[in-house]
Amino acid sequence: MIVQQCENCNKKGKNVYCKDCVKVADSFDVYEYLSGDNRFNKGRLISVIEAYTWHDAIEYVRNNFFHGEEKSNIITNCEKDFAYLEKTRSIRSENENNAEELDLRSYKIYLNNGQK
């Protein structure tokens, strides 16, 4: 978390920080689930990451688990206790004129505050 921003970063926004800001890395648990599943079920823990902000954690998941996907094709939503990122893409079946939807893996991020 960002404990205190420097004067320059404070003017730019709450997710901006530099080496002069006071910050402490938080631990975030990343869970994987299928896009069609209920996102309120926990899923499978696949990674624990450290980041200074929720924004950093979301960007890390977006950049490391959605390889080659455009940001505009990834649904990102932040709830009170977690954030989730989902992607559903069209794939071509054997018949090129018939596209079917395929649910892909999606990810949920929880702040790890030491409680299970």
Residues 16-27 have pLDDT tens digits of 999 999 999 999
For residue 82, give the nearest of 103, 105, 61, 104 by alpha carbon: 61
Q: Comparing 101 with 88, which gets the higher pLDDT?
A: 88
pLDDT of 88 reads: 60
DSSP designation for 39: T
Give the span between the Cα atoms of 8 and 10, in whole angstroms. Answer: 5
Mean of pLDDT values over 20-42: 84
Q: Which residues pair with 76 in a beta bridge?
A: 85
pTM, two decimals, is 0.78
